[in-house]
Every structure is written in C-alpha cells, then in structure tokens.
Amino acid sequence: MSFPFFPASGSAMATQVDRLFLFLVALTIVVHLIVFGPMIFFLFKYRESKKVDRSPLKFSTLKVELVWIIIPLILVMAVFAWGSHLYVNLQEPPKEAIEVNVVGKQWMWKIQHPEGNREINELHVPVGSVVKLVMTSQDVIHSFFLPVFRIKQDVLPGRYTTEWFQATKVGSYHLFCAEYCGTMHSHMIGRVHVMEPKDYEDWLREGEPTEPLVQSGQKLFQELGCSGCHSMQSQFHAPLLEGIFGRPVPLEEGRMVMADEKYIRDSILLPQLQIAAGYPNIMPSFEGRLSEEEIFQLVAYIKNLSPKKAKSGKGKP
C-alpha cells in the first residue's frame, strides 16, 4: 500500500490551484493555533481547582468583537477574489484550442476528435496544446473529472458544457466520473494520455481510417436534406448558415441570440423554440433521429461554414 500525499500536477492551472489550496491549508493551521492555543492554555490556567484571578473583565467586549469580525471578513474577501480569479480562467479557454467532443452515457465516455478519431474511456491529447472539451450527456448527469489538471465539469443531458486544459507533462492519468450516475458509476472511469505532439500525430493516423468531423457533418447535412432549404438555390426561404456561427441572430420575437453550439443544437432539435426573424416557421424537428455524436458533427460542419470563427483544431480542415 502506497502513501501518496499530493496528486500529480499536470497543467499550469493545477499549479495555481495547488498554490491557493496550500495557502488555505496554512490559513487553517494559523486559525487553529489562534483558537486552540489560548483555549488549551485557559483550560489549564482556569481549572476550578486553581487559585487565579477571576475578577470581572474591564475592557469593552464590543471592540474585541469588532476585531474578530473585521479581520476574518477582510481575509475571506481576499480568498474570494483569489478563488474567483482562477474560476474565471477555468471558464474561458484561450481562442486557439483543439476541440474534442465528449458524450457521457451510462456508463462510458465516448470521445471524438476533430480529425474524426473516436475512443471510449481514453482521451489522447498532445502536451502543450490547449484542449477544449465540449461535452453533453445522452442520459443522466455525469461529471468529467481530471484530477491531474484540477478540473471537473458536470456533463448534462440536453446542454453543452465545456472545460479546458493545457497539459504540461507527458504521462497517463485518471479520468473519473464525479457525479453519481447509477449502478456502475464507479466503473465509469478512464485515462487521459498526454503525449508528445509527434506521438499524438502518429496516434491520430493509426488505427482505422477516419473522416474529419466537418466532413461527416457535411454528408449528414446533405443526407438529412438540410441543404434543400439552407442554400442559395433553395425555393424555400431558410436562413443561410454561412458565417452564422459566433454572430448574433435576430429572432421573430424581437430578441437577439448568439449563434453558439447550443443555439445550433437547439435549432436542430427544437426548431420551434427560436424562429429567426423574417423566416417562416417550417423547419422540422430532428429530435430522436440524431445521436449526440451526429449532432456534434453537424455543429462542427456549420461552425466550419464560418471560416473566421472556425476552430477545427490543427491539421486537416
């Protein structure tokens, strides 16, 4: 039985979280000394058998109370600011990121890379690159937990959530599901493999030939008949999707909505929910006809129609 004391640290974020954690540990020790030092001293000095001065106090308790209200208040506000700073960083991935799609289901992680490579319960990433995970669940709530990077994010059905990391150390580390998701919850585990960029490229080329997400998305787009309406030549009046990603879209009801992954997903599954201004309400719902993976492919294709905003990662288009 080994006696590990601290988890491996595999990203700049992990180092920062550890620093704040250790600060809090130090603070805890100091507070304990401040509370229990005097307490133990009093317990000995003022035992009922001891002859000591027990005359009433002569100082104002109000001042004392204010001291131990204001000092802790300042301290915790500082900790709040520090912690929030890290949290905001965790929520905002740098622009250039490899986008990996993750689908959680009872009880496995299905992962697809932009180049099309699929894996289950394994995640291969290159060291040094920013990797952004776009995640959704097929059934219940799961949580994608990578202790080595000190990150965790719930994976929800019907929504996209994201988390990101930039690995600094080659190696193979734990991947856990951290939100209780049913009978085999504790077996919904895997590994994240951080590789040298060259090894990663080799890994991408190995195995079965794959098709990049954008290409699969394009095929689907045609097979499902989307191109019948969403094109210049179409006789039906449907919004053009070129350049739409990342831009605000005016809705019939007067509101504006940002065309992000969630908007595109919702437009495919729940088209009646948000009608683009100036277009008839004719889009059929694809709910139940598409798997989460297929929706990811369509989203990847539509994103790619906006060349400026396209973030298909490295290598192949």
Q: Least separation, in Å, of the C-beta of 88 and another protein?
A: 6
Residue 13 or 305 with smaller CB distance to another protein: 13
Please state the closest distance from residue 163 (CB atom) to another protein, in A.
9
Spatial contact of 118 and 103, defined as CB atoms under 8 Å apart: no
Q: Which stretch binds another protein (CB under 8 A): 108-116, 121-129, 176-184, 207-215?
A: 176-184
Cα(146)–Cα(180) distance, integer angstroms: 16
Q: For another protein, which residue of 186, 272, 285, 291 counts as binding (CB under 8 A)?
A: 186
How far from the centroid of its chain's Cα atoms is residue 118's Cα? 20
* Other residues' Cβ atoms within 10 Å of the Cβ of residue 29: 10
Tell me how crowded residue 308 is: count the other CB atoms within 10 A of its CB.
8
Using CB under 8 A as the binding rule, the residues of this chain from 110 to 139 that contact another protein are 139
Q: How far apart are CA 86 and CA 15, in angstroms?
A: 11
Site string for another protein, 29-68 (x = CB under 8 A): --xx--xx-xx--xx--xxxx-xxxxxxx---x--xx--x
Q: Is-contact 250 274, C-beta < 8 A?
A: no
Q: Residue 67 or residue 282: which is nearer to another protein going by CB? A: 67
Phi, psi of 127 (to 5 degrees): -70, 145
Q: Is residue 259 a contact point for another protein (CB under 8 A)?
A: no
Smallest distance from another protein to CB 126, Å: 23
Interface with another protein in residues 139-158 (CB under 8 A): 139-141, 143, 145, 147, 150-154, 156-158
Select 99 or 179, whichever has its Cβ closest to another protein: 179
Q: How far is the CB of 175 from another protein (least distance, A)?
A: 10
Among residues 88, 206, 232, 233, which is the contact residue for another protein, using CB under 8 A? Answer: 88
- Which of 12, 127, 129, 159 is close enough to bind another protein by CB under 8 A? 159
- Residue of 73, 256, 258, 282 interacting with another protein (CB under 8 A): 73
Residue 267 within binding range of another protein, rule CB under 8 A: no
Measured CA to CA, the distance from residue 138 to residue 40 in angstroms comes to 56
- Cross-strand bridge partners of residue 142: 155
Pick left, alpha or beta for residue 68 (phi over 0 → left; psi -120 to 50 → alpha; otherwise beta). Answer: alpha
Residues 6+ apart with CB under 8 A from 159: 136, 262
